[in-house]
Amino acid sequence: MAERYNPQEIEKKWQARWEADKLYNAEMDPSRPKHYALTMYPYPSGDLHIGHWYAMAPSDARARYMRMRGYNVMFPMGFDAFGLPAENAAIKRKIHPYSWTMANIERMRGQLRSMGAMFDWDREVVTCDPRYYKWNQWLFLRLYEAGLAYKTFAPVDWCPNCNTSLAREQVIGEDRRCERCGTLVIKKDLDQWLFRITNYADELLDFSGLDWPERVKVMQTNWIGRSEGAEVRFTTEAGYPIVVFTTRPDTLWGATFMVLAPEHPLVEKVTTPPQQAQVAAYQEQARRMSEIERQAKDKEKTGVFTGGFAINPVNGARIPIWIADYVLMSYGTGAIMAVPAHDQRDFEFARKYGLKIQVVIQGENTPANGEEMELAFDAEGVMINSGPFNGTPSAEGIRKVTAWLEEQGIGKFAVNYRLRDWLISRQRYWGTPIPMIYCPTCGALPVPDQDLPVVLPQDAEFLPTGESPLKYHLGFRYTTCPQCGGPAERDTDTMDTFVDSSWYQYAYITPYDPERLFEPAAGDYWLPVDQYTGGVEHATMHLLYTRFFTKAMRDLGLVKYDEPMLKLFNQGIILGEDNEKMSKSRGNVVDPDDLVSRYGADVVRMFLMFLSSWNQGGPWNSRGIEGITRFLGRVWELVLEPANPTAPAGYHSDQAVRDLRRVTHQTIQRVTRDLEDFGFNTTIAALMEFSNMLGRARSTPVVETPAWQEAIESLLLLLAPLAPHLSEELWHQTGRPYSVHQQPWPQVDNAAAVEDEITLVVQINGKVRDRIQVPAGIAEQEAKERALEAPGAHKMLDGKTPRQVIYVPGKLVNIVL
RNA sequence: GCCGGGGUGGCGGAAUUGGCAGACGCGCUCGCCUCAAAAGUGAGUGAGGGCAACCUCAUGUGGGUUCAAGUCCCACCCUCGGCACCA
C-alpha cells in the first residue's frame, strides 16, 4: 500500500529542488524558438490574495505548456513597488515606505513560491530600487530630448484625498472620481510634466498584428476618440479670429450663433461693457462648478450672451457670441459654431434662449422650418439654404465643403482626439524623482546622464501637505546648475507609477543593467512579449501607456518593434461565494494561504482553472474544491496502487489495447487544443474523463500491456503544467527521469486516435428516434439503409416513403417524412 | 443615449463549421464498505406524463430561416463592463 497523496510534503520538497537546480531560469538559446510569457506584476500590498493566484496560476500553466512544446520560455516576475499605498501605510504606521514595501515583497515572494510557478526569480525587478528607476529617469530624459516630454502650466485634475495631480486616464466616470480612492477630483492650476502620447494617437488606433481581445481594442479606440472634420475660422466684428472645430462642415450655413467655453481667452475681448457683469458672474460660477461638484444629472444647458458678434465666413451672417459650460476648453479649440437645427445640444440651447434655428439639411420627413422642429435633425440629408452647395447630399457635402474652405482660405481639414497628453507629475514622495534642474540663469536643464540616478532621499518628511514632500527636503531640493555651476533647484515632483510599468517588460531582459536599459543582443532574442496576461481594468491606462512607450522607444532606436505585447489575454475576476466582489467588509474573502495549507497548491491551482473559462471568472465554491482533491487523489492511486487485474467476460486483449490507446491519444488531442486557447476548464474535464476511463481499465489485464504505461505517462505529462508538484512526484515514484517538466509534450498518434466504430443518430423530422453503432468509414448509402431499418425509426416510418433522407457523415441520418 | 460582453438543470459550467443540449465537477438520492460515522466506492439525477416500452416540453422573451437552431436573421427584455454635453 503506497502512501496517500500528501501535498504539503511533496510540494515543499519539489519547490526546493527546482529552485536549487534553477530549473526555470531562462537562458538565451538561439537554436531554440523563444517564448516570452508575461503576467502583470503585482503591487506589493503585503498579501497575495486569490485574485493574484487567479491571474498567475493559469498563466504559469500556459507557460509550462509552451515550454514542454519545445519553446525556450522566459516567465519573469517582479514588483510594482512605488505608489501611494506604501506612503499612506507608512504615515499611518510611522514606518518608512521603503521598509513597508520591502517587508511586503519579502512576504509575497514566499507566497508566490508556494504556488509552484516557474517564475525566473533571477530576473526579478523591484521598481523602487534605484537601479530600476534610474532607467525611468534615463527614459524621461530621452523623451525630453525628443520633444515628447514637456512642462506646462495648466488646470489639471487633482485628487484632494491623495494630494496629487492625476492623469486624465486616472479620473473615472461621469462624476470624475480618483481611480485610486474614489474621491471627487477637482481642478487645480499647476506646472506639470506631460508625455506627448497624442503624437501617437493615430498609430495607437492601429491594432493590426495584435492578437488582443476585441474589448480592449474597442476601449482604447473609444478612449482615443478620433474624429475627423474641419477647422473653420470665424471672425469677430472687431476682427479677432475664432477658430472652431466641426465634424459637420456641411451645416456651416446653419450656424446661427457661436459658443465659447467660459474660460476661453477671447471672452474678455468680445464681451461688451453692458454684458460684462453677467459674463464675469457666469465665468465665476462655471469655475466653481468644475471645482465643486459636477454630479447634477439632468444638466440643463446654461449660458450668457457676451454682447459680441461674429461673422459667419461662408455667408457673411452676423451671429451672436455666447459663452456656455457645455463647451469644453479641453476639447477642440474651446469654441464652437452652433447649428441648432442639426445638433441636439445647440438645439436645446437655442430653444432656451430664443436663438434662431436655420434648417440647412433636408431629410425625408423633417420640417424645413426650424420653429416646427421638436428635435435637431442630425441624420444625413440634402443640403439646402447653403449657397453654392444646395442639392448636395450631406455626406458628400462634408468633403466638398472642406475642400472649398481650403480653397477660400477660411478653413481646413482637421482631426481631433479625445485623448489628452499623459500628465506624469505627482506631488508625492514615494516615486521616481523627475530628473530636471531649474537654474535662474540657464533655465530648465536635464540632469546629465552620468549623474543618474537622482536618488530619492530616505529621510524626507512625507506627510501630505498638497505640495511635493521633496520640496521640503532642502538637501535634495537645492543643487547646482549642471551648466553654469550656480545655485539651482531640482524638480521636486515624482513620476506617475505607470511610467515604471510602461517599460518593465524590457527590464526583465537584463535586470538592473548598470550600463544600459537592456542588453541589445538579449533583447533581439527575447522581445517582444509573446503572451501577456492580466486584468482588463488596465485597458486605457497601463496597456495604452506601454504601447505608447514602445512606439516612442522605437523612434528613439531602443527597440525594433511597434508593439510591446503581441498577444493579450484578460482573465476574469474571482468573486466571493455569495457572488459578490470579495471584500473584508463583506467577509467573503478566501485566503490562498489557508487553502494551500489545507488542500495543497496543485489543488488550488487546478480548482481555479476548473471553475469556469479563464476570461470569465466567477464565484468561489468551497465545496467544489473537494472535487479536485478527489480527482488528484484518484490519479495518485491510479499511478501508484498495484492493480489486481481479472479479465471480464468477453475480454479481448487487442480490442482493450486499441480502446485504451484511442482514449489516450484523443485526450492528448483535446488537452493540446484546449491549452492553446487557454481552455483550462475543459482541459481538466478531459483529464478527468481520461482518468475515469483508466480507473475502469485498471481492473483488467490491459494494465499489463505497454499501452497502459503509455497512458499513465501521457496522463502525467498532460497534468504537469496544471499540477506541477503531483506530476513530478508521480513521475519520480514511477522511476522516470527527473524532471517531468523537462519532458517534451506527448505526441498524438492520429491513427490510434481514430474511432473505428461510431454512434449514428437516427432522426425522424429532426427528432432523435434511435441510435445505431456503425463502422466509422460507413458509406452514405449503407448508412441511410441501416438508419431506415433501425427499430426506433422503422416503427415511426410505418411503411411510409420518406420525402428526403439527410446524411451527415459521422453524425446522423435525418429522415424527413 | 452610444459601444462591447453575457443570459443554458438545484449550483459552477460544457457544446470546433448549424447536426445527440446539459460534457466535467459540486450538490442530492439509493446501494456497497463500517458496530457506527467520516473517507472511499457503485448506480441514478433537466422538467412533466406513463406500470412500461416510450411520449411531450425545454438553452432570457416573441417571431423568422432551415431537413435540423443554444449556435444564423429580425424585434424586445434583463444583466455586467466601458464611454458620455467631445462640437
Q: ipTM of this predicted complex?
A: 0.94
- In angstroms, how far is B18 C1' from A771 CA? 21
Residues 345-374 of chain A within 7 A of strand B, judged by CB, are 345
Give me the percent of chain A exceeding a pLDDT of 70: 98
Mean pLDDT within A787-807: 82
Give the closest residue to B18 (Cα–C1′): A808
A796 CA → B52 C1’, Å = 19
Q: What does the block give as the cell for A803?
A: 420525402
Residue A809 CA distance to nucleotide B19 C1' (Å): 10
If you measure CA to C1', which residue is closest to nucleotide B26? A624
Q: pLDDT category, A795, cuts 50, 70, 90? A: confident
Which run of H or of E encompasses A711?
A: helix A706-719
Lowest mean pLDDT segment, chosen from A20-24, A53-57, A83-87, A541-545:
A83-87
Strands A443-446 and A436-439 turn out to be antiparallel
Residue A450 CA and nucleotide B42 C1' are separated, in Å, by 76
Instruction: Decide if pLDDT at A759 tops 80.
Output: yes
With 90 as the cut, is the pLDDT of residue A130 above it? yes
Protein CA A610 to sugar C1' B36 (Å)? 36
The one-character DSSP state at A584 is: T
Chain A residues 99-158 within 7 Å (CB) of strand B = none
Question: Per-residue pLDDT averaged across A414-432, rounded?
Answer: 94
Q: How many Å apart are CA A163 and CA A189, to the nearest integer?
A: 14
Residue whose CA is minimally distant from B25 C1': A627
For B83, which residue's CA is nearest its C1'? Answer: A222
Instruction: Note the pLDDT of residue A294.
Output: 46
Closest nucleotide to A345's CA, by C1' atom?
A: B85
Overall average pLDDT of the A81-93 stretch: 90
Region A472-483: mean pLDDT is: 95
| pLDDT of A357 over the 60 cut | yes
Distance CA A656, CA A615 (A): 39
Integer Cα distance of A610 and A612 in angstroms:
6
Which residues from 532-571 of A have any strand B atom under 7 Å from their CB? 536, 540
The burial class, CB within 10 Å (0-12 / 13-18 / 19+), for A168 is: middle
A689 touches strand B (CB under 7 A): yes
Q: Is A699 near strand B, with its CB below 7 A from some atom of it?
A: no
Residue A547 banded pLDDT, cuts 50, 70, 90 = very high
With beta carbons less than 8 A apart as the criterion, state whether A421 and A195 touch: yes
Cβ of A502 near strand B (under 7 Å)? The reply is no
pLDDT at A290: 62
Beta carbon of A299 within 7 Å of strand B? yes
Q: Return the DSSP state at A613.
A: -
CB A602 within 8 A of CB A725: yes
All domains in chain A, ordered by first residue: 135-210+421-497 (3.40.50.620), 227-416 (3.90.740.10), 622-753 (1.10.730.10), 757-816 (3.10.20.590)
Q: What would the pLDDT profile of A201-245 be if each residue is shown by its tens digit?
A: 999 999 988 999 988 998 999 999 999 999 999 999 989 999 999
Cβ density class A42-78: b for 16+ within 10 Å, e for less: bbbebebbbbbbbbbbbbbbbbbbbbbeebbbbbbbb
Bases of chain B within 7 A of a CB of the protein: 3-5, 11-16, 19-21, 23-27, 39-42, 54-56, 67-69, 81-87
A223 Cβ within 7 A of any nucleic strand B atom: yes
